[in-house]
RNA sequence: GCCGCCUUAGCUCAGUCGGCAGAGCGAUUCACUCGUAAUGAAUAGGUCCGGAGUUCGAUUCUCCGAGGCGGCACCA
């Protein structure tokens, strides 16, 4: 339904809208459409059962609007909690807010929920939904709430935090708002009995019936109470809820589509990379087919960087401790670094140290190494901007639970660059970096971008450096971001400790958002390493550093592209670009001849001489997402032609060989996606 | 790291209420030589994740560990 049909009503129009002249007017009197589940009264979301004061403006909230969906999902969370407490009366309640596409509710109970429990809970929820319970709001004092919720220790804690609920935990504000405390009673419409109640700010649906058939419980997980690792872990049940069964089904299909594109699955199916247990968690090996695609990515990016005035450098994977003391990484990120390798220590027979050893660390960042290249000789303003780039492999000791395919690993390669600029060059250079980032990402077929400007935290401990410098830098970044014409979101408190940054987010083919590139200003490391350049007037000046990565992690970028294309890469990136499929063995040599010509033009081509029928070969190479299959039999050989079959099943038969070669080469050169 | 679930052939998965294990795909071989998504047959392939315990006997039960998955927390 279309919410725009419902213009805001004001109660001066009560005569037309209200049914009971002179009586109290509620949202139910104003809005009869069943798709309207709540209202905004003078901007505040409220239940339809609430009284609308004279002169107030009341806008309808439909179930399919963003607010309406949140209300639906939050009400579904209440139904879940009621179902849990019906089956397990000893379960204690945490919080249960709506989230993207669904809801969750946290419970404390001794035994873990099983997948069978989820089925039983879903059944119980269906019963509650069918009963058509009403959600009835009731204002209570703190004392009344404490008395009623004496058995719910987590709720009592939230009452104590009232007003500070936003800070108590993400989602906690749905339970207790800043104003008065309220409890929602779930009332059976037939008997008028209160079936269940929960501390809640609301609003809620008029009836559980509206949750209809569009909900499902999805999974169970552990979650720290109030998100804090030192507090107990509760059991969180996730669910999804939609206004209709069709929308639920569409959501489930989106999940299925995402699962099909999962880079871990495609990586195995397409023989691109793997994570051998023998090597260790979060450490990938690249098989020939994956290495070809990755290599094409790297080579293309490298060419473009050189065109843009970047100089490639190489640095080691390991370094003495002092470097990361100077850079402060050991202090700030020490926990995420791999433990040191202790070198060169010598001891006598009693075990006394006779020669002091040195600790070496795997590098978690390339920047200190690039700084040392800068520092190796004195620099002039004429050298700047100096742009040092490296595909530098770094190692971070990620917690085991954080690891995820290629997107969160313990060893990865940054397409890292550090730009050393004068303060006057900062804004122009940053602009160039941002334009370069966008242009290069577009080469890979990404088009939908958004920027986030991360600014420093209000708390002084979270950042270092001079406040005025932060201001200047942040203002410069803001101007650059706005000049790009992209959507810019400002994120206070999200900056790195050493400077503000612009992050670039990209939306993929199925609408998911990924963070890719980052451009970070750094006034701190030049200070710590005492970097200098000689200005035109002969004075010594301090350069500013710009850290930037386009892909962030090459491995992760590869994974994102793999999912974006669902494994069907553009021709230039495809591990195998052409496969020749002879109709019968006799025609293989004819195809080999064409393949040799293609190979001569740099095309990655194979001829399938396996002992299979051509139909099977076509199926195999289609599943392997090869962009061009060239088929030839008696007809094509006689005519000096070849027949194309594309990944989508379409075909183009009897194409003269020269033209076929021309078309393939052109598709590679233009980075076409066929 | 924490909570929960999982780990059987190269891959996807059955199975054994405790008696030394199976399918499909893939691989190999043979036959077939075929015009746009699976030709047929045969063969090979297993420390049932690792270790310890219980037991006459453990892939199965218990404990410990490793790895994976879903979340939480973390993410320079």
A637-A599-A621 Cα angle (round to 5)? 70
Residue A114 approaches strand B within 7 Å at CB: yes
Question: Pairing relation of β-strands A57-62 and A36-41?
Answer: antiparallel
Give mean pLDDT, residues A481-494: 89
Among A37, A62, A87, the domain-final residue is: A62
How distant is C1' of B21 from CA of A115, in Å? 28
- Are residues A414 and A439 located together in one domain of the fold? yes
Minimal CA–CA distance to A507: which of A571, A584, A446, A427? A446
Residues 6 or more apart in contact with residue A608 via CB below 8 angstroms: A579, A580, A581, A582, A617, A620, A621
Residue A170 approaches strand B within 7 Å at CB: yes
Strand partners, A605: A578
- Residue A553: inside a domain, yes or no? yes
- Are residues A504 and A420 located together in one domain of the fold? yes
Closest nucleotide to A650: CA versus each C1': B36
- Coil, helix or strand at residue A208: helix
Region of poorest pLDDT, from A42-56, A217-231, A452-466: A452-466
ipTM of the complex: 0.95
- Are residues A83 and A163 located together in one domain of the fold? yes
Contact indicator for A366, A428 with CB cutoff of 8 Å: no
Region of poorest pLDDT, from A29-38, A288-297, A556-565, A662-671: A29-38
- 406-425 of chain A touching strand B, CB 7 A cut-off: 408
How distant is C1' of B7 from CA of A397, in Å? 24
How distant is C1' of B3 from CA of A232, in Å? 10
Contact indicator for A535, A234 with CB cutoff of 8 Å: no
pLDDT given at position A1: 37
**Residue A535 pLDDT greater than 70, yes or no:** yes
- Are residues A501 and A551 located together in one domain of the fold? yes
- Residue A573: inside a domain, yes or no? no
Closest nucleotide to A520: CA versus each C1': B76
Residue A550 has phi, psi (to 5 degrees) of -90, -50
**Residue A20 pLDDT greater than 50, yes or no:** no
Buried b (16+ CB within 10 A) or exposed e, A301-326: beeebeebebeebebeeebeeebbeb
Q: CATH number of the domain at A639, please.
A: 3.40.50.800
- 27-86 of chain A touching strand B, CB 7 A cut-off: none
Among A201, A232, A254, the domain-final residue is: A254
User: Residue closest to B69, CA→C1'?
Assistant: A404
Residue A656 approaches strand B within 7 Å at CB: no
- Are residues A532 and A650 located together in one domain of the fold? no
CA-CA-CA-CA torsion sign (A622, A624, A626, A629): negative
Mean pLDDT of chain A: 92
Q: List, as one string, the DSSP characters of A113-154.
A: P-HHHHHHHHHHHHHHHHHT-EEEEEEE-HHHHHHHTTT-HH
Region of poorest pLDDT, from A305-309, A344-348, A454-458, A636-640: A454-458
pLDDT given at position A23: 63
A539 vs A425, A457, A469, A524, A525, CA distance in Å? 17, 34, 20, 20, 20
Confidence band, pLDDT 50/70/90 cuts, at residue A456: confident
How distant is C1' of B28 from CA of A561, in Å? 36
Confidence band, pLDDT 50/70/90 cuts, at residue A202: confident
Residues of A labelled catalytic:
367, 396, 414, 416, 418, 501, 547
How distant is C1' of B62 from CA of A265, in Å? 34
How distant is C1' of B75 from CA of A506, in Å? 19
**Residue A361 pLDDT greater than 80, yes or no:** yes
State which nucleotides on strand B lie below 7 Å from a protein beta carbon. Answer: 1-5, 11-12, 26-28, 30-39, 66-76
Q: What residue numbers bound the domain in which A166 lies?
A: 66-254
pLDDT given at position A178: 64
Report how far residue A494's alpha carbon sits from residue A161's, in angstroms, rounded to the nearest whole number.
25
- Residue A271: inside a domain, yes or no? no
How distant is C1' of B1 from CA of A446, in Å? 36
Residue A402 approaches strand B within 7 Å at CB: yes
- Are residues A137 and A198 located together in one domain of the fold? yes
pLDDT given at position A4: 41
Contact indicator for A367, A327 with CB cutoff of 8 Å: yes
User: Residue closest to B38, CA→C1'?
Assistant: A616
Residue A289 approaches strand B within 7 Å at CB: no
pLDDT 10s digits, A596-654: 999 999 999 999 999 999 999 999 999 999 999 999 999 999 999 999 999 999 999 99
Among A504, A530, A564, the domain-final residue is: A564
Closest nucleotide to A644: CA versus each C1': B36
Closest nucleotide to A633: CA versus each C1': B35
- 425-444 of chain A touching strand B, CB 7 A cut-off: none
Residue A234 has phi, psi (to 5 degrees) of -100, 170
pLDDT 10s digits, A373-394: 999 999 999 999 999 999 999 9
How distant is C1' of B34 from CA of A612, in Å? 10
Closest nucleotide to A552: CA versus each C1': B76
Contact indicator for A69, A98 with CB cutoff of 8 Å: yes
Confidence band, pLDDT 50/70/90 cuts, at residue A2: very low
Minimal CA–CA distance to A71: which of A43, A47, A51? A47
Confidence band, pLDDT 50/70/90 cuts, at residue A14: very low
Residue A109 approaches strand B within 7 Å at CB: no
- Residue A630: inside a domain, yes or no? yes
Report how far residue A363's alpha carbon sits from residue A591's, in angstroms, rounded to the nearest whole number.
49
> A249-252: long-range contacts at Cβ-Cβ below 8 A with a sequence spacing of 24 or more?
A251/A101, A252/A216
Residue A457 approaches strand B within 7 Å at CB: no
How distant is C1' of B30 from CA of A284, in Å? 40
Contact indicator for A270, A101 with CB cutoff of 8 Å: no
pLDDT given at position A30: 87
pLDDT given at position A115: 83
Residue A403 approaches strand B within 7 Å at CB: yes
pLDDT given at position A18: 46
User: Residue closest to B3, CA→C1'?
Assistant: A222
- Are residues A390 and A533 located together in one domain of the fold? yes
How distant is C1' of B3 from CA of A154, in Å? 18
Helix (H) or strand (E) holding A262: none
Residue A405 approaches strand B within 7 Å at CB: yes
Give mean pLDDT, residues A482-495: 89
A628-A557-A299 Cα angle (round to 5)? 65
pLDDT given at position A492: 86
- Residue A264: inside a domain, yes or no? no
- Coil, helix or strand at residue A341: strand
**Number of folded domains in chain A?**
4
- Residue A332: inside a domain, yes or no? yes
- Coil, helix or strand at residue A267: helix
pLDDT given at position A164: 54
- Residue that is written with structure tokens 């069709």 in the block: A246
Report how far residue A202's alpha carbon sits from residue A77's, in angstroms, rounded to the nearest whole number.
12
Residue A365 approaches strand B within 7 Å at CB: yes
- Are residues A55 and A77 located together in one domain of the fold? no
Report how far residue A84's alpha carbon sits from residue A111's, in angstroms, rounded to the nearest whole number.
13
- Are residues A478 and A434 located together in one domain of the fold? yes
Report how far residue A474's alpha carbon sits from residue A493's, in angstroms, rounded to the nearest whole number.
12
Residue A336 approaches strand B within 7 Å at CB: yes
**Token representation of residue A111:** 């035994």
- Are residues A332 and A217 located together in one domain of the fold? no
- Residue that is written with structure tokens 């088009």 in the block: A447
Residue A573 has phi, psi (to 5 degrees) of -100, -15
- Are residues A639 and A613 located together in one domain of the fold? yes
**Residue A15 pLDDT greater than 60, yes or no:** no
- Residue A270: inside a domain, yes or no? no
Region of poorest pLDDT, from A22-26, A410-414, A449-453, A648-652: A22-26
**Token representation of residue A588:** 């293989």
Residue A221 approaches strand B within 7 Å at CB: yes
In three state form, how does the secondary structure of A603-626 look? CCEEECCCCCCHHHHHHHHHHCCC
- Residue A276: inside a domain, yes or no? no
pLDDT given at position A476: 87
- Are residues A35 and A119 located together in one domain of the fold? no
Report how far residue A163's alpha carbon sits from residue A637's, in angstroms, rounded to the nearest whole number.
80
Contact indicator for A235, A113 with CB cutoff of 8 Å: yes
pLDDT 10s digits, A217-248: 999 999 999 999 999 999 999 999 999 999 99
pLDDT given at position A584: 94
User: Residue closest to B1, CA→C1'?
Assistant: A399
Region of poorest pLDDT, from A111-120, A274-283, A464-473, A589-598: A464-473
Residue A462 approaches strand B within 7 Å at CB: no
Report how far residue A217's alpha carbon sits from residue A196's, in angstroms, rounded to the nearest whole number.
20
pLDDT given at position A175: 76
How distant is C1' of B5 from CA of A400, in Å? 16
Neighbours of A23 (CB within 10 A): 10
């Amino acid at each position: 339904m279309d919410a725009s049909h419902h213009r805001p009503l004001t109660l001066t129009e009560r005569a037309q809208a209200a049914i009971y002249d002179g009586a109290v007017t509620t949202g139910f009197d104003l809005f009869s459409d069943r798709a309207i589940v709540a209202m905004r009264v003078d901007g505040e979301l409220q239940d339809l059962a609430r009284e609308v004061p004279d002169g107030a403006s009341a806008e309808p909230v439909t179930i399919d609007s963003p607010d309406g969906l949140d209300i639906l999902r939050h009400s579904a969370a209440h139904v879940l909690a009621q179902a849990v407490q019906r089956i397990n009366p000893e379960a204690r309640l945490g919080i249960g807010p709506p989230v993207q596409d669904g809801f969750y509710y946290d419970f404390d109970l001794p035994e873990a929920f099983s997948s069978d429990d989820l089925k039983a809970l879903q059944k119980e929820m269906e019963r509650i939904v069918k009963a058509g319970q009403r959600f009835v709001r009731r204002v209570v004092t703190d004392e009344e709430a404490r008395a009623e919720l004496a058995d719910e220790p987590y709720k009592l804690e939230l009452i104590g935090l009232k007003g500070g609920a936003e800070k108590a935990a993400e989602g906690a504000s749905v339970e207790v708002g800043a104003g008065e405390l309220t409890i929602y009673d779930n009332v059976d419409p037939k008997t008028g009995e209160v079936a269940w109640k929960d501390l809640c700010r609301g609003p809620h649906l008029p009836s559980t019936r509206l949750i209809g058939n569009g909900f499902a419980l999805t999974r169970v997980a552990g979650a720290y109470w109030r998100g804090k690792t030192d507090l107990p872990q509760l059991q969180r049940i996730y669910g999804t809820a939609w206004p209709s069964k069709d929308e639920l089904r569409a959501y489930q299909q989106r999940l299925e589509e995402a699962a099909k594109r999962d880079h871990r699955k495609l990586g195995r199916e397409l023989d691109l990379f793997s994570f051998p247990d023998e090597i260790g968690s979060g450490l990938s090996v690249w098989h020939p087919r994956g290495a070809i695609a990755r290599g094409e990515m790297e080579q293309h990016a490298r060419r473009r960087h050189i065109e843009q005035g970047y100089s490639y450098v190489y640095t080691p994977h390991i370094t003495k401790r002092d470097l990361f003391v100077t850079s402060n990484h050991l202090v700030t990120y020490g926990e995420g670094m791999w433990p040191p390798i202790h070198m060169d220590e010598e001891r006598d027979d009693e075990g006394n140290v006779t020669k002091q050893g040195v600790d070496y660390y795997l590098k978690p960042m390339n920047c200190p190494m690039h700084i040392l290249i800068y520092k190796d000789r004195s620099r002039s303003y004429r050298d700047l901007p100096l742009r040092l780039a490296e595909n530098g492999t770094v190692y971070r000791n990620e917690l085991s639970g954080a690891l995820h395919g290629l997107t969160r690993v313990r060893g990865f390669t940054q397409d890292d660059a550090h730009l050393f600029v004068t303060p006057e060059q900062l804004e122009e250079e940053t602009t160039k970096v941002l334009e370069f980032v966008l242009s290069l990402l577009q080469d890979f077929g990404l088009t939908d971008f958004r920027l986030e400007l991360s600014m420093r935290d209000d708390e002084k401990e979270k950042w270092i450096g001079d406040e005025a410098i932060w201001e200047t830098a942040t203002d410069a970044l803001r101007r650059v971001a706005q000049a790009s014409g992209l959507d810019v979101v400002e994120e206070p408190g999200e900056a790195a400790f050493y400077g503000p940054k612009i992050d670039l987010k990209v939306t993929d083919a199925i609408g998911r958002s990924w963070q890719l590139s980052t451009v970070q200003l750094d006034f701190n490391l030049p200070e710590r390493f005492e970097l200098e350049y000689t200005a035109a007037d002969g004075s010594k000046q301090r350069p500013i550093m710009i850290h930037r990565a386009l892909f962030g992690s090459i491995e992760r970028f590869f994974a994102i592209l793999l999912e974006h294309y669902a494994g069907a890469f553009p021709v230039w990136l495809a591990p195998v670009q052409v496969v020749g499929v002879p109709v019968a063995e006799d025609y293989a040599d004819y195809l080999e001849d064409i393949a040799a010509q293609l190979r001569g033009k740099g095309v990655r081509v194979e001829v399938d001489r396996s002992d299979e029928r051509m139909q099977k070969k076509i199926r195999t190479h289609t599943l392997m997402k090869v962009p061009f299959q060239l088929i030839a039999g008696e007809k094509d050989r006689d005519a000096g032609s070849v027949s194309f079959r594309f990944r989508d099943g379409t075909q183009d038969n009897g194409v003269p060989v020269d033209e076929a070669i021309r078309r393939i080469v052109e598709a590679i050169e233009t980075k076409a996606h066929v």
